[in-house]
Amino acid sequence: MRVISVINQKGGVGKTTTTLNLGHALALAGHRVLLVDLDPQAHLTDSLGLHAYEGEGGDAVLIDGARIADHSLAVRERLQLLPAGPRLGLFESEGVRSVQWGWRLHQALTEADSYDFVFIDCPPSAGLITINALMASRELLIPVSSDYLALNGLSRLMPILDHVEQTLKRNLRKWVVLTRFQRQRRLAREVQQKLLDYFPDCLMKTPIRENVSLAESPSYGQTIFEYKKRSYGAYDYLSLAHNLVNEEFCRPARQDAACAT
């Protein structure tokens, strides 16, 4: 079971979009997938059509130590969702009681049904909710939009992740996915090159191109494959799923040959 946190402290880079569509792409390919909504804003839950969902989910798992199986929902074929839950935002204050609360999600996943992939949609913060995600994960997927501020945010995130790795005494496999990519823009190409230079063996082969359908589909409670399956967004996330399964990344020495454009 590959447990992957989708994380970036900067908002607007496509964390939820990537969690939603990459998870569904893998389910369509035959994998059993669990999506975990750990953002109190519950955007992932909402994007799957559960608008204003009031049932418990991640909040019960983190606060009460509940079982994932008791609160996960079948949202598509081979695709399960653990919704955020209305009390999730309270966990940051509730969880100061013990350092063991940082391991709540890890423990719940060890007792959960067997999945091929678990994706955790993290909030844009470094609080106790995010710590739970990092403690539970072996891999990190970091969406970075094709602009300077997103690149700057990534440089601030990496030292935090290094500190977590030292605390855990284990390495977390890091994947960087370039989002909102427009090949014709010079800035986008420069951001791609800097990612190749500074984060070798991390940048995934497929960049996610800017596509209005990706922004529109959540309002209909649909993934990109349901909303517009012949769009660039659908093609790119299918390709990204293939990258993840086969651990395909860009190699700086062979940028033109190895990186999709």
Q: Are 244 and 22 in contact (CB under 8 A)?
A: yes
Rounded-to-integer distance, Cα 122 and Cα 245, Å = 21
How much is the pLDDT for 225?
98
How much is the pLDDT for 260?
56
Backbone angles phi, psi at 246, to 5 degrees: -100, 5
Q: Is 10 helix (H, G, I), strand (E, B) or coil?
A: coil
How much is the pLDDT for 2?
96
Selected from 3.40.50.150, 3.40.50.620, 3.30.450.30, 3.40.50.300, the CATH number assigned to the domain covering 2-258 reads 3.40.50.300
How much is the pLDDT for 11?
81
Rounded-to-integer distance, Cα 218 and Cα 28, Å = 18
Q: For residue 139, what are the contacts with CB-CB under 8 A and spacing of at least 6?
A: 2, 3, 4, 5, 172, 173, 174, 175
Amino acid code (one letter) for 60: A
Amino acid code (one letter) for 215: A
What is the DSSP secondary-structure string of 135-182? Answer: HH-SEEEEEEESSHHHHHHHHHHHHHHHHHHHHHTSPPEEEEEEESB-
How much is the pLDDT for 159?
83
Q: Are 130 and 6 in contact (CB under 8 A)?
A: no
Per-residue pLDDT of the chain (261 residues; tens, 9 = 90+): 999 999 998 888 999 999 999 999 999 999 999 999 999 999 999 999 998 888 999 999 999 999 999 999 999 999 999 999 999 988 887 655 566 788 899 999 999 878 999 999 999 887 889 989 999 999 999 999 988 777 777 877 888 888 888 887 778 999 999 999 998 888 889 889 988 888 888 999 999 999 999 999 999 999 999 999 999 999 999 999 999 999 998 876 544 445 655
